[in-house]
Structure 1
Amino acid sequence: MIKITTARKYILATALCLQSIVCLNAQTSTADISSNLSQDSRVDSFSLNSDRGTPSLIKLNSSGATLSLNEVADFLSSNLGFGTETTFVEEATTNSNGLQVTKFQQYTNSIKVEHGVFKSISKNNIVQALTAEYYSLSPSINTIPSLSESAALQLVLDHVGADLYAWEYIQSLGNTPEIAAAYDEIYPKGELVFVDNYLTNVVDPTLAYKFNIYAAEPLSRADIYIDATSGEILLLDATIKHIDANHGKEEIKKEIKPIAKQTYGPMPLVVASGDTRYAGTRSFDTSMDTNGNWVLKGITPSGVENETLSYQGLGGIPLNVPLSQFAVPIADGDGDVLNPETADNNWTAAEHRKDDFSLPYAPVIPVSGMPSVGHNEANNDDVALDAHWGAEIVLNYWKNMHNRSSYDDQGTKVTNYVHYGDAYDNAFWNGTAMTYGDGSYQGGQHPDGSFAPLTSMDVCAHEIGHGVCEFTADLVYQRESGAMNEGFSDIWAAAVEAYVLSEIDGSLNYDPWGIGEQIDERDGGLEPGTPGSRALRWMDDPKSAGDPDSYGGANWIEPECGTPTLANDQCGVHTNSGVLNKWYYLLVTGSGKSFSAGLNKPAADDQISDAGNTYNVQGIGFEKASKIAYMGETMLSPNAKFIEMREASIVAAQVLYGPGSIEEVQTTNAWHAVDIGDAYTVGDPNTISFNESNLQIYSESNTINGCDDSNSYTVYLTAVEVDPATTITLNTAGSTATLGQDYDLSSTTVDFSGSEIQSVQITVYDDAIIEDSETIVLSYIYNGKFYKQEFSISDNDFSPRTGTEPFDLM
């Protein structure tokens, strides 16, 4: 990291809206970019990506010489210097915890630059940092493909070499409008883009066609990029993301939507009760179909539609079943003589767990497109209640904790499919839906069974987490970026389980640090939390499940492992995720804590990394750690590496909780614990000082609420090894602003003990008087040393206009 220290110049920028398209001009070298940023008084520090030779993170001042949103275009133009052929188009904005993250997609000569993005994080209209993955393309770069789209597609299909593609299977079913719509959705369409050639060791953006290829036999799906001139395959980005219960089974990221067999009227939120497999009796959303049956379809408290359907043990497209029988609703009240049900919207285990496995295991055998009666979890719809309730809770978590509406932050419906395949040992996210297998454990009857039905809460949270990642960081699913993609999904699995224990039912047998601890039956059916019990991954001690807990340490898979494939787990995405998992665990709980019980797990964290670094982390709890992780994920670019997540998460901690805050300190120390970066360093012992980055330009008006007559600001003070405990008294002598009239302090005394961050609030009032700017001076004496910091109040009042021109008073 290159650190710039400049004399502080305090200016006030008018708060305006950022243009939706940023145009940049003039090609600039890496040396020139570094020089420009070093000399810009608004820049605090920046980091250069070693592969691209361009900035990956630019930290801006939060006080003094600052950058407002409306100045970003000029800032990028003057410092980074693209030609006018390059634009950045605003595509998404995320608002959470008082922060705004804005994403800009790069285009050159009106062609999308794949993975080329800028992201700004701002607070009160002041940009705190910019993250970047952008590519310098020559204005004369070729934009005319030599290959036609059809020729390129044929070369891609030759490369995949599948025996059957999904659209071919769909076409064989007939020519109904439903089938035609399904065919159109799946048939690959070429998009012309610039993309880096992933086969070389240099950054060389190339004109390419992008196709999404969905193969049926053998099953696979990926975004495939082919050179539009040479026909060379440049990148295969797998779109399959799963819980990894079985490396040998794939999953579909985006499937055809099923054709409903029932019609529904208005869908009010009707709360039902039911006996779930993993969480006891729970309440969930339902509605009534036209046959008078209650079905698992409704509106969740988060305002998002939620529906659960069944594959009946058959699997889905592209299996050989009629499209109209792709999936069916799950109802209360549609039983038969042997399995009666009462349509009372009370989903009891007696009604919906119909197979108690009292007889030997027998697989479900399709007969005329429907399953026969057999001893199989496909007969048990109590696990469907887990999927339905689980999705509702995950949606509630994202709305309540992060102000996110569904996985895409657009309130999009979530669909859950259960009973996928016969004893299928996996679960997956398909872009808009969850799909769950029933597992091969089969109530303990299968001799080689590994997993119970995969509808546990953490599996649901993990897979929907992939949807969140797609619409935030959109991390490429291979190497380090793919490992973080998996790690974030594990983080949300842990966070949601902790949310349930805290907000819903603390008696549930959840271990947030075990991924799949309820469905992993490789231990012979041991209860979670007992010695010898198993999980897919352990976040508190990744090594016990064969994953690394330190970057480059034991169990680490070399990310540059060659060509990423399913066989090598895309160069270790489900393994190297352990590094991000351990970081998050330490940030939540702190170091040196006892581990929960589990197979091969030691008693406690030893506080020594694989590189031999001794670490000490103080936990900050799930809520704060999750907010930092979420903002960090939102700020990442598609090909980000672990070091870039370190930088993004530290910025997130600074913006959320203040520079030098305990949250920033522990975020930094947790990364040091996994051998990424140094531990946090503090000032001299027995000192108390104002944070240099405190905002020092105040406005009488509130830029968020517009017409409010006051505005509040936080002043941070940092203590280092203060002993004994002391109280300082803040003095306002020398201020030109009047206490009690122009501003108020939340307190004039602050207590300190040891090393900690404390704060006071300054409330600035709009006095409606036209005047010069005023100053607030805060000072104190500690250990015989005088400390002072000044703050300026910028007047926002103006003289009324005169004359005959119409004037609206608002």
Structure 2
Amino acid sequence: MFNKYPALALALLGSAFTVQAQDAARAPQLERGADGLPELVQFRPGTNPRLSEAKQALRAALALAPEADMRSVRSEVDELGMTHEKFQQFYKSVKVEHATYSVHARNGAIEAMSGDAELLELDVRPSLSAEAALQSALGYVRASRYMWQDAGEEARLKQDENNPAATYRPQGELVIVRNQMSVDAAKNGKPTLAWKFNVYAQQPVSRAFIYVDARTGEIVFKDDIIKHAAATGTFGTRYAGTQTGATDSFNGTFRLRELTRGSGIETYNCRKGNSYTNAVDFTDADNSWTEYNNANLDNAALDAHWGAQSTYDYFKNIHNRNSYNNAGAKIRSYVHFDDTPGDGRGYENAYWNGSVMTYGDGYSRFDPLTSLDVAAHEIGHAVCSSTANLTYSYESGALNEGFSDIWGACVEYYKAPTKQTWLIGEDIDKVRPSLRSMSNPNAESQPDTYQGTYWYAGSGDNGGVHTNSGVLNHWFYRLAVGGSGTNDKGTAFSVTGIGIDAAAKIAYRTESVYLTASSNYAAARTYSIQSAKDLYGAGSAQEIAVTNAWSAVGVGAAYGGGTTTPPPTTVSYCASKGTNQGYEWIDLVQLGSINRTSGKDAGYFNGTATSTSIAAGSSQTIYFSAGFTSTAYTEYWKIYIDYNKNGVFTDAGELIVSGSSSSGGTLSSAFTVPATAKSGATRLRVVMSDNSATTSCNSYTYGETEDYTVNITGGTIAPTTFAGVSGATPLGQEEARTARVFPNPANELLTMLLPDNAVVRSVNVYDVRGARMKQVQLGENGTLDVSRLAPGMYQLSLSDGQKSFHQRFTKQ
């Protein structure tokens, strides 16, 4: 029998995990899923088992039978220093699909465990052979041609995987999976012994895991690998104007390939065919890709290439993720794909097929489906497959689609903030304003409330994955932007937005750390709240916003059990942006826990998700520096804090730094926070321009603006005037405690000196694009061999093991 409500057998672990009846206060805190099993176990301080006891802890928490086993499949350390070890469940040595549990530990002590598991009792001996089951799977797919029937594609696979035995022909794997497709209602939802096949059809295109009952031959489940977006992303692009992107030089011409990001990003031309093997390079004679706006729509390839690079950059720079698999996987895109060549109709779709990106040219509904948000959406599916691996069916599939839309919006905001962030596919849709709207899902017939208007309850579209994703989309929008109103369930809501950057960090942690293959909306709520606690602390404004945003879309109660904190008066700030970063940009801002080094940020960087606390009346020092392509120009620095939180920087005392410098070294300025400053979060704005007339609200030519958040403590509601800033260090004075490098420019050896003659423990070198250089070697006595670097400007990041320092140098 399948027991849905087991007791929590905590006594199995001995003293570290024993809970006495009379000491319930020491028992772990449990969040149970719909099946009654714990989906989140949180240990109270002082009761934490060790990470080395993870398997025993899991067995006890889940009350697993002796025949069940949890096997470690992956262990990662995140940016908070926490270790996340993922375990896959097996039963009698057979893998249990979609049953994974993660153990979250800090300093070797387990703080929480999360995931989904099964309590099983069934026979795991198949009566149907793998070959017979495969015939059932192929009879279900009914394709006219499969990838393993194409000799060219088979040869390409062997080459790509460097494995002469590699083949697309499905190999059966015996697993246990829940039956979700039986015509017999009594079988639906029941764990079933099944053969699993990866079936890749060439015509018509499809790729999915097909599960066949290992006794009856019945199809019990299908999990699509190709996630159809039903839409689908510097060059003279089709949708994003003139952009720049990396290519490579080959045989006297240039190709849409590059190797600076992970293992590379490559874009190919399918020439309106359906063969990856026969695809060719897009080439250009002078690397000025301006003639691609032609009748063949070749400029769409430039969007795809730039979109892949932009998406890689977003995940690397914002989430420290190295390509979709976090191991530098190559990203290949195929443009001008057509599943039925010669029929006169372009392919109206784009998809991630489990290995590569594929883009059609569109026909009646769409233009070529290569817009930036679509490219990010599809690569987002690849990220999901390497993290939560959300099953492409019903609620877990809606989450899969919703997270891809989230990444589409985030990448578009990151690389093209003037576009319509909250619309998906607005560049490619010829019929509607967009494919989906995250701010107003109802406008495109999607629900903005769980099981509310437009919620799809049928079995089509894998259980409505493209429709019901609107709930997650709108949750993310509310979390980022905020707002108040009444949802479809009649529940009043009020959400204070935390900005898209902080919202993205919470969403990424939810997907990459906590969610599992079978997670639903309730689990997404639980895990996103936990992610907010991890990142910002229990009771933080971010946790409150996450909870209230879920209440806004009809999933769970508001923070505090049904009420929300009234929203503060909305404060908006004027725009400030440089239009040219060809010569100079901000490369360091440091104040308290704000410590960001960067390259060019397209004239403006929204760092409001990054914050630090400063006390009213305290003395503070802010550090900052400029990056230069070659010549160091005179730059005018103006730094503001909106002390009275009224949305402007023109009040007395809010200009905390004003001066000029022609140095690329680290500058500093001391200031005093007025005792009358208003408590709470407010805006810090850093402006660097070559024009002395630039103010806090300008569009100017050369330079950059960066915004951050400071949390003022111990203040009051400030009057309209402020005490002036005192104790300022004259701008232009080099910070004495900075690293020095010489000779500069350098030819072969660069000598590096740290403050107090500290030993250089580590050094990283980055070029002007932010790419890390591997052709350098740290020598003795603080020297660095730079002889193998190409001539140009580079950024150094040095460390003595405790503190980091930054400097620039030129290689001759």
Query: TM-score interval w.r.t. the shorter chain?
Result: 0.5 to 0.7
1:164 maps to: 145
Distance of aligned partners of 1:520 and 1:585 in 2 relative to their CA distance in 1, 3 Å threshold? same
Which amino acid is 2:540 matched to?
S
2:133 maps to: 152
User: Is the counterpart of residue 276 in structure 1 residue 237 in structure 2?
Assistant: yes
2:728 maps to: none
Which amino acid is 1:578 matched to?
G
Q: Cα deviations across residues 690-748 of structure 1 (Å, max 9, x unaligned)?
A: xxxxxxxxxxxxxxxxxxxxxxxx9999xxxxxxx9xxxxxxxxxxxxxxxxxxxxx9x
Q: Contact 1:96/1:403 (CA < 8 Å) preserved in 2?
A: no
Which SS does the other structure have where 2:448 is aligned? coil
CA distance in 2, matches of 1:385, 1:755: 45
CA distance in 1, matches of 2:318, 2:425: 23
2:620 maps to: none
2:453 maps to: 554
**Which one of 14, 17, 32 corresponds to residue 48 of structure 1?**
32
Write out aligned runs for 1:522-671 (5 A). Answer: 522=431, 534-558=433-457, 561=458, 564=459, 568-592=460-484, 607-634=485-512, 635-671=514-550
Q: Contact 2:154/2:168 (CA < 8 Å) preserved in 1?
A: no
Q: Cα deviations across residues 20-49 of structure 1 (Å, max 9, x unaligned)?
A: xxxxxxx99834228878966555521222
CA distance in 1, matches of 2:222, 2:63: 31
**Which one of 407, 415, 422 corresponds to residue 492 of structure 1?**
407
1:206 maps to: 192
User: Is the counterpart of residue 470 in structure 1 residue 453 in structure 2?
Assistant: no
Q: Cα deviations across residues 180-237 of structure 1 (Å, max 9, x unaligned)?
A: 9899521111011122222356653232210112234444322111122222222122
Q: Contact 1:309/1:330 (CA < 8 Å) preserved in 2?
A: yes
Distance of aligned partners of 1:626 and 1:121 in 2 relative to their CA distance in 1, 3 Å threshold? farther
- Offset at residue 388 of structure 1 (A): 0.7
Q: Contact 1:41/1:65 (CA < 8 Å) preserved in 2?
A: no
Which amino acid is 2:254 matched to?
W
User: Is the counterpart of residue 196 in structure 1 residue 178 in structure 2?
Assistant: yes
1:457 maps to: 372
Distance of aligned partners of 1:28 and 1:162 in 2 relative to their CA distance in 1, 3 Å threshold? closer
1:72 maps to: 54
Q: Cα deviations across residues 541-598 of structure 1 (Å, max 9, x unaligned)?
A: 000110000001000011xx3xx4xxx1111110000000000000001115xxxxxx
CA distance in 2, matches of 1:570, 1:684: 35
CA distance in 2, matches of 1:172, 1:500: 35
Distance of aligned partners of 1:661 and 1:750 in 2 relative to their CA distance in 1, 3 Å threshold? farther
**Which one of 293, 296, 318 corresponds to residue 401 of structure 1?**
318
Which amino acid is 1:232 matched to?
E
Answer 1 or 2: higher relative contact order, Cα 8 Å, separation at least 6.
1
Q: Contact 1:423/1:437 (CA < 8 Å) preserved in 2?
A: yes
2:281 maps to: 329
Q: Contact 2:158/2:165 (CA < 8 Å) preserved in 1?
A: no
CA distance in 1, matches of 2:235, 2:189: 55
Q: How many residues align?
A: 560
**Which one of 328, 333, 337 corresponds to residue 411 of structure 1?**
328
Distance of aligned partners of 1:295 and 1:28 in 2 relative to their CA distance in 1, 3 Å threshold? same
2:89 maps to: 106
CA distance in 2, matches of 1:684, 1:354: 57
Which amino acid is 1:154 matched to?
Q
Which SS does the other structure have where 2:268 is aligned? strand
User: Is the counterpart of residue 674 in structure 1 residue 566 in structure 2?
Assistant: no
CA distance in 2, matches of 1:309, 1:554: 42
1:227 maps to: 213
**Which one of 241, 249, 255 corresponds to residue 227 of structure 2?**
241
Q: TM-score, normalised by structure 1?
A: 0.64
Distance of aligned partners of 1:684 and 1:546 in 2 relative to their CA distance in 1, 3 Å threshold? closer
Q: TM-score, normalised by structure 2?
A: 0.63
1:97 maps to: 79
CA distance in 1, matches of 2:159, 2:214: 33
Distance of aligned partners of 1:124 and 1:521 in 2 relative to their CA distance in 1, 3 Å threshold? farther
Which SS does the other structure have where 1:284 is aligned? coil
2:421 maps to: 512
2:590 maps to: none
User: Is the counterpart of residue 425 in structure 1 residue 348 in structure 2?
Assistant: yes
User: Is the counterpart of residue 437 in structure 1 residue 421 in structure 2?
Assistant: no
Q: Cα deviations across residues 52-102 of structure 1 (Å, max 9, x unaligned)?
A: x311121233x4443443343332233333244322222223444324433
Distance of aligned partners of 1:304 and 1:395 in 2 relative to their CA distance in 1, 3 Å threshold? farther
CA distance in 2, matches of 1:294, 1:353: 17
Distance of aligned partners of 1:146 and 1:128 in 2 relative to their CA distance in 1, 3 Å threshold? same
- Offset at residue 177 of structure 1 (A): 8.3
Q: Cα deviations across residues 283-330 of structure 1 (Å, max 9, x unaligned)?
A: 2111122x3211111123x4340001001122336xxxxx5xx20011
CA distance in 1, matches of 2:297, 2:98: 44
Q: Contact 1:170/1:182 (CA < 8 Å) preserved in 2?
A: no
Which SS does the other structure have where 2:359 is aligned? strand
- Offset at residue 432 of structure 1 (A): 2.5
2:258 maps to: 298
CA distance in 2, matches of 1:636, 1:642: 10
CA distance in 2, matches of 1:83, 1:196: 18
Which SS does the other structure have where 1:193 is aligned? strand
Which amino acid is 2:454 matched to?
N
Which SS does the other structure have where 1:556 is aligned? coil
CA distance in 1, matches of 2:157, 2:207: 25
Which SS does the other structure have where 2:494 is aligned? coil
Which SS does the other structure have where 2:395 is aligned? helix
Percent identity between matched residues is 40
Which amino acid is 1:310 matched to?
N
1:353 maps to: 293
Distance of aligned partners of 1:223 and 1:182 in 2 relative to their CA distance in 1, 3 Å threshold? farther
Write out aligned runs for 1:651-730 (5 A). Answer: 651-681=530-560
CA distance in 2, matches of 1:204, 1:403: 39
Which SS does the other structure have where 2:64 is aligned? coil
Distance of aligned partners of 1:468 and 1:162 in 2 relative to their CA distance in 1, 3 Å threshold? same
Write out aligned runs for 1:30-49 (5 A). Answer: 30-33=5-8, 43-49=27-33
Distance of aligned partners of 1:391 and 1:161 in 2 relative to their CA distance in 1, 3 Å threshold? closer
Distance of aligned partners of 1:176 and 1:418 in 2 relative to their CA distance in 1, 3 Å threshold? closer
- Offset at residue 162 of structure 1 (A): 3.4
2:272 maps to: 313
Q: Cα deviations across residues 600-649 of structure 1 (Å, max 9, x unaligned)?
A: xxxxxxx1100111111001011110011111112111111101100000
- Offset at residue 389 of structure 1 (A): 1.0
CA distance in 2, matches of 1:28, 1:419: 52
- Offset at residue 242 of structure 1 (A): 2.3
CA distance in 2, matches of 1:299, 1:537: 34
Q: Cα deviations across residues 506-558 of structure 1 (Å, max 9, x unaligned)?
A: 5x4x11100011111215xxxxxxxxxx0000000000110000001000011
- Offset at residue 477 of structure 1 (A): 0.7
2:703 maps to: none
Q: Contact 2:69/2:91 (CA < 8 Å) preserved in 1?
A: yes
Structure 2 unaligned blocks of 5 or more: 12-18, 339-344, 566-611, 616-644, 646-671, 683-713, 715-812
CA distance in 1, matches of 2:155, 2:507: 48
Which amino acid is 2:262 matched to?
G
